[in-house]
């Protein structure tokens, strides 16, 4: 899950939340007598404050009780895949060790056959790792979308209720993001997460656990990308 993705989804979610609140207010039936001049419909929470706050969106999503539990369940779901990949990796490493120790003792055909096995298994392993990473990332994004859909309107309301005219996302440090710095005094992450936890009614996980299976990394030069580490319970990667 990239911070760029989360920032885009947050922007859409916040705009949608404001629009939905405005439409809800505008749809309220008027109680004015027939023929009387109608006043403009209310437009939801007005963001008129002047304070600036910061929220680590990734940290809020995956640090919430709901986000942590969802990621814990996702990690458990991927444990069999982790075991499968480890088995493939162990087999591949055993063949490489065999080639390294016996290459000078093998005839040309045997050495070529062993190298071909290693090449074939390496490609299969690298592809399996990539597929697992992509599948995990897709499901992680689904968790983020689900939590953010409920978190975004809460951020909007918190801003309106507490005089904030701007809230910035600090999920990634500068220069990966345009935010050069944001002190602890303006950080609203914990406050928002505490409110979200209270309103969601989701209890915290029983005990800390890894949120993602540590899939074996492809050998150097294999061309596979290292899995992105999901942020959970704190600052994002």
Cα-based angle 141, 236, 209 (whole degrees, multiple of 5) = 80
Nearest to 53 by CA among 144, 156, 150: 156
Share of the chain above pLDDT 90, in %: 49
| pLDDT tens, position by position, 43-53 | 456 677 789 99
Report pLDDT for 25.
Answer: 40
Residue 218 neighbours by CB under 8 Å, 6+ apart: 122, 125, 126, 129, 224
Report pLDDT for 216.
Answer: 46
CB atoms within 10 A of CB 228: 15
| pLDDT tens, position by position, 136-183 | 999 999 999 999 999 999 999 999 999 999 999 999 888 888 888 888
pTM: 0.66
Of the pLDDT bands very low, low, confident and very high (cuts 50, 70, 90), residue 221 is very low
Report pLDDT for 232.
Answer: 38
pLDDT at 124 over 90: yes
The span from the CA of 155 to the CA of 21, in Å, is 13
| pLDDT tens, position by position, 60-110 | 999 999 999 999 999 999 999 999 999 999 999 999 999 988 877 888 888
For 51, list phi and psi in degrees, rounded to 5. Answer: -75, 155
Report pLDDT for 45.
Answer: 65
Average pLDDT, the chain: 77
The span from the CA of 135 to the CA of 215, in Å, is 13
Of the pLDDT bands very low, low, confident and very high (cuts 50, 70, 90), residue 190 is very high
Considering only residues 38 and 99, tell me which one the structure prediction assigns the higher pLDDT.
99
pLDDT at 209 over 60: no
Of the pLDDT bands very low, low, confident and very high (cuts 50, 70, 90), residue 23 is very low
Residue 180 neighbours by CB under 8 Å, 6+ apart: 174
Tell me the DSSP string of 92-154.
HHHHHHHHHHHGGGS-HHHHHHHHHHHHHHHHHHHHHHHHHHHHHHHHHHHHHHHHHHHHHHH
């Amino acid at each position: 899950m990239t911070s760029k993705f989360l920032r885009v989804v947050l922007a859409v979610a916040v705009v949608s939340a404001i629009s939905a609140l405005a439409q809800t207010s505008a749809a309220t039936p008027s109680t004015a007598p027939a023929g009387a001049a109608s006043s403009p419909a209310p437009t939801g929470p007005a963001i008129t404050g002047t304070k600036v706050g910061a929220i680590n969106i990734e940290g809020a999503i995956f640090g919430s009780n709901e986000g942590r539990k969802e990621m814990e369940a996702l990690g458990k779901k991927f444990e069999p895949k982790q075991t499968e990949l480890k088995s493939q990796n162990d087999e591949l490493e055993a063949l490489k060790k065999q080639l390294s120790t016996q290459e000078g003792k093998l005839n040309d055909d045997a050495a070529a056959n062993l190298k071909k096995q290693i090449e074939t298994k390496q490609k299969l392993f690298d592809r399996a790792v990539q597929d697992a990473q992509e599948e995990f990332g897709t499901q992680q994004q689904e968790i983020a979308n689900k939590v953010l859909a409920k978190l975004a309107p809460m951020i909007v309301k918190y801003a309106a209720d507490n005089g904030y005219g701007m809230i910035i996302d600090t999920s990634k440090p500068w220069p990966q993001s345009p935010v050069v710095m944001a002190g602890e005094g303006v950080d609203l992450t914990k406050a928002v997460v505490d409110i979200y936890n209270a309103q969601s009614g989701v209890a915290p996980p029983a005990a800390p656990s890894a949120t993602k299976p540590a899939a074996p990394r492809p050998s150097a030069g294999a061309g596979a990308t290292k899995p992105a580490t999901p942020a959970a319970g704190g600052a994002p990667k």
